[in-house]
A and B are shown apart, each in its own frame.
Chain A
Amino acid sequence: MSVETITSSEYIKHHLQNLTYGQVDGQWQFAHTAEQAASMGFWSLNVDSMFWSLVTGLIFYVVFRSAGKKATTGVPSGFQNFIEMVIEFIDFSVRDSFKHKNKLVAPMALTIFAWIFLMNAMDLIAVDWLPQIAAMSVEAMGGDPHSAFFKVVPSTDPNITFGMAISIFILIVYYSIKHKGLGGFFAEILFHPFGKWGLPANLLLEGVALISKPISLALRLFGNMYAGEIIFILIAIMYSVGIGFGVFGGLLQVGWALFHILIITLQAFIFMTLTIVYMDMAHDNEH
């Protein structure tokens, strides 16, 4: 393992490459280079993103499920208290912005907030730790450590953010049609806001408004987390420059990590709140 010999740009590229599993020349295998990964097309899987996404999701589920199982109506323990604080916060947010009756919205908001928060929180683990462990274990198993790509923050993968945003988009369209009828849904897109003679303009405006919902959701989260990740990587490069830069980098990393806690929480909250608002709009039947 000759990490010292790689250049900064190689280091950055390595950190931004997902571990992709797909077909190369008709063979299912992990991509060894970025080009190989790109050539795999749509039917390939970012194993690292998927893995950490599921791990964080399961952590969230198990923690909250155990609290749900032990929930008492008496005096709550510290752990239950914490969980109930989160639940209360979500419930308050949903009651505040969602004026209709739908039992799916609050659990969905909780899932979105907690899961995205945990996925984002992977950013706070020093950028090299988990990839280094992955590279070492690949080397131990006789593989090439340079092709052991490992991105640990699922929300820096657009597939993950778009996956969630598109799911929410599907729910928005589903509930719109359910509550307004198929006619009502299309009438809103076609005859609003300029009446039926302004149909092309309406379609353009409302179509963009509809499509922009999932895109803005996905890109906002992805952009924020990706930028944060890159800054962590750039700070990490300072460690290889010299001891002075190393100490400065260490301070910077702590500072940025502290600031990042805010971004992590804020992005999870924004994603959740916008989802609630979009769901509310899908249920609105007033046009």
Chain B
Amino acid sequence: MNINATLIGQSIAFFIFIYMVKQYVWPPLIAAMEERQKRIEAGLLAAERGLSEQAEAEQRAQELISQSKDQAAEIIANASKQASNMVEEAKDVAVQAADKVKAQATAELEQDKARVRNELQEQVSGLVMQGVNAVLSKEVDSKTHKDMLAKLSQTL
């Protein structure tokens, strides 16, 4: 255990090692660690932001859903109202058409009735005229009594 030049050798080696560690070991390692720390920090921040964004989006989606539900209900209500309106209108139209048809039919019926009555009148008057002719064939000249005959057939 003698103090000798080993002391100086160790001092020199010590300084050289300190220098080399300071130059080539410490900076890259600490830089990598700090860089990673920053990245982790950024990642955590991004995750947090993502979570809050997700919550926001969910809320927005909920709002949209309730909105569209309201809209749908409105549309359905409108549609049913419209449908009942249409039914009413159709009913009115149908009633009108039916009335029209009925009126027409009544008119036709009246016409037919008039026509049949005329025909009957003519036939009756014809028959009467025949009968009268048969009765009066000798005394009544159809030509001279034409006016009287016409008046008669008219009143029949």
Contacts and interface: CB of A to CB of B under 8 A. Distances in A.
Interface stretch (B20-28, B77-85, B98-106, B117-125): B20-28
B149 to A, nearest CB: 133
Nearest to A222: B1
Nearest to A74: B36
B142 interface: no
Interface residues of B, number: 32
Given A61-B20, A107-B18, A159-B10, A43 B28 contact: no
B24 A108 contact: no
A42 B2 CA distance: 8
Interface in A30-74: 37-38, 40-46, 49-50, 53-54, 57, 60-61, 64-65, 67-69, 71-74
A111 B1 contact: no
Contact of A46 (B4, B18, B29): B4
Interface string B1-20: 11111111111011101101
A71 B20 contact: no
Contact of A45 (B6, B11, B21, B29): B6
B91 interface: no
B39 interface: yes
B54 to A, nearest CB: 26
A124 interface: no
Contacts of A65: 20, 24-25
B26 A42 contact: no
Interface stretch (A81-89, A191-199, A252-260, A261-269): A81-89
Contact of A53 (B13, B25, B35): B13
B25 A68 contact: yes
Nearest to A86: B29
Given A45-B9, A46-B4, A162-B7, A71 B32 contact: yes
B29 to A, nearest CB: 5
A163 B8 contact: yes
Contact of A61 (B8, B17, B27, B32): B17
Given A44-B5, A71-B29, A159-B4, A107 B21 contact: yes
Contacts of B21: 61, 64, 107-108, 110-111
A76 to B, nearest CB: 8
A53 B17 CA distance: 11
Contacts of A115: 17
Contacts of A46: 4, 6
Which of B1, B22, B33 has the most chain A CB atoms closer than 10 A to its own CB? B1
A87 B29 contact: yes
A38 B2 CA distance: 6
A110 B29 CA distance: 12
A103 interface: yes
What are the 10 tightest A-B residue pairs by CB atom distance, in nearest-first order? A163-B10, A159-B6, A71-B32, A107-B22, A68-B28, A73-B35, A107-B26, A46-B6, A107-B21, A163-B7
21 contacts: A18-B1, A43-B4, A44-B2, A44-B4, A45-B9, A50-B13, A54-B13, A61-B17, A61-B21, A65-B20, A67-B29, A73-B32, A74-B36, A76-B36, A104-B22, A107-B25, A110-B25, A162-B10, A163-B6, A163-B13, A166-B7
Interface of B: 1-11, 13-15, 17-18, 20-22, 24-33, 35-36, 39
